[in-house]
Amino acid sequence: MYRILGSDGNEYGPVSAEQLRQWIAEKRVNGETRVQGDDGVWRFLREVTELVVLLQPPVLPSSPPVSSTEARSIPSDFEGDYDGDYDLDVVACLTSAWRLLQQQFSTLFGPTMMYVLILFGLGILGALPYIGVLFSLCSFVIGAPLMAGLYVVYLRVIRGETPPLGSLFDGFRRMFGNLFLAQWVQAILASLPLLAGFIVLFLSVGLTVIMGLAKGSASWPAFAALVPGLGLILLGLPVTVFLAVNWMFSLPMILDQRVDFWTAMKRSWRQVSRHWWSCLALLVVISILNFFGTLCCLVGLLVTVPISILATMYAYETVIHGRKAS
């Protein structure tokens, strides 16, 4: 008996192989559908030896995925997924993102604007006296689940689906704890290389101010007093960047594949490290793109931000699933 994961995120079953055969004939299930057997591992149906024969024509694991316009595709687990080398084409990710944005702008605009308005609203409320700290705390708590929901909305559009607006909040309905932990564990670990520099910098400023007060006049420390702390920060910065790039796909993977935060961090690290410089190049290009979007009176961000997220999700499909952007 098997269980399947529907494109609505719900599990169905247990069902027999014969029932799956009928659903395949009705185009309710295809090779991209995630199924769980007796071993408890979620895999693509096309990767399950005893089920691949049900597909007509048979789709082998190395075959390209069936379009989700023909049947509903499903996100989920990583165990039966791609775990090999890949060729990340940064230009292809960006050009594919631009083409898809032109085709699906209306689908992507709603979730993107809702995401922006929620964070913007919390930012404004966070400036209020007394109660502002509560809204600031709220933005820290919901940041990762909301971002992961937006990632997966874009991912589903890339896979040919038309996700409803409410899909933006899937990170709150599923995997909330793991998304929250991923955000903060990554932030803490990535900040550790900078910690020594900030401590030295804080002590340099603090001691100078205290000594100035003791003499009757507080003064800002000379630049020479700040050099040790700034130097340690600059030394730690490459390590922080290295860690951040290696974990760049953790959030979407948690929600897309329903894995715990540590598993997602390890797998993102393992796959990104194969071609770390290519992943860094993508992030640099995206940052430059959004910088120019900001210069256009922020209006340009309405285009550059969706392109950036789409390009990142195309890269996710290549790095994590071995599917090249086209």
Alpha-carbon distance 195 to 188, whole Å?
Answer: 10
Residue 107: phi, psi to the nearest 5?
Answer: -70, -40
Alpha-carbon distance 313 to 197, whole Å?
Answer: 34
Residues in CB range of 69: below 8 A, 6 or more apart = 160
Asked if the structure places residue 97 within a domain, the reply is no
Q: What is the pLDDT of residue 62?
A: 44
Same domain for 49 and 141, yes or no, is no
Buried b (16+ CB within 10 A) or exposed e, 21-56: bebbeeeebbbbbbbbeeeeebbbbbbbeebbebbe
What whole-number percentage of the chain has pLDDT above 90?
A: 40
Same domain for 165 and 44, yes or no, is no
Q: What is the pLDDT of residue 276?
A: 94
How much is the average pLDDT of 172-194?
92
| 219: Cα separation from own chain's centroid | 45
More confident residue, 188 or 23: 188
Give the number of C-alpha atoms closer than 13 A to the C-alpha of residue 206, restricted to the C-beta side: 7
What whole-number percentage of the chain has pLDDT above 70?
A: 86
Asked if the structure places residue 70 within a domain, the reply is yes
Same domain for 150 and 246, yes or no, is no
Same domain for 228 and 280, yes or no, is yes
Asked if the structure places residue 255 within a domain, the reply is yes
Same domain for 277 and 205, yes or no, is yes
Asked if the structure places residue 80 within a domain, the reply is no
Q: Is 102 helix (H, G, I), strand (E, B) or coil?
A: helix
* CATH code, 57: 3.30.1490
> Residue 2 pLDDT > 90, yes or no?
no
* Total count of domains within the chain: 3
Same domain for 197 and 166, yes or no, is no
Same domain for 220 and 140, yes or no, is no
Q: Read off the tokens for 160.
A: 């040919």
Same domain for 261 and 136, yes or no, is no
> Residue 268 pLDDT > 70, yes or no?
yes
pLDDT-based confidence at residue 240 (cuts at 50, 70, 90): very high
Asked if the structure places residue 96 within a domain, the reply is no
pLDDT-based confidence at residue 220 (cuts at 50, 70, 90): low
Domain boundary among 52, 74, 96: 74
Q: What is the pLDDT of residue 65?
A: 46
More confident residue, 180 or 21: 180
Same domain for 244 and 123, yes or no, is no
Same domain for 169 and 211, yes or no, is no
Asked if the structure places residue 85 within a domain, the reply is no
Give the chain's radius of gyration (CA, Å).
23
Alpha-carbon distance 171 to 35, whole Å?
Answer: 21
Asked if the structure places residue 101 within a domain, the reply is no
Q: What is the pLDDT of residue 53?
A: 75
Q: What is the pLDDT of residue 253?
A: 92
Same domain for 156 and 242, yes or no, is no
Please give the torsion angle defined by the CA atoms of residues 92, 93, 94 and 99, in that order, rounded to the nearest 10 degrees.
80
Domain boundary among 74, 94, 122: 74
User: Can you give the residue range of the structural domain that contains 12?
Assistant: 1-74
Alpha-carbon distance 40 to 61, whole Å?
Answer: 19
> Residue 90 pLDDT > 90, yes or no?
yes
- Structural element, H or E, at residue 245: helix 223-246
How much is the average pLDDT of 123-151?
88
Summary mean pLDDT of the chain: 83
Angle between helices 176-214 and 132-158 (to 10 degrees): 140
Q: What is the pLDDT of residue 191?
A: 93
Asked if the structure places residue 95 within a domain, the reply is no
Highest mean pLDDT among 25-39, 219-233, 251-265: 251-265
> Residue 49 pLDDT > 80, yes or no?
no
| 40: Cα separation from own chain's centroid | 25
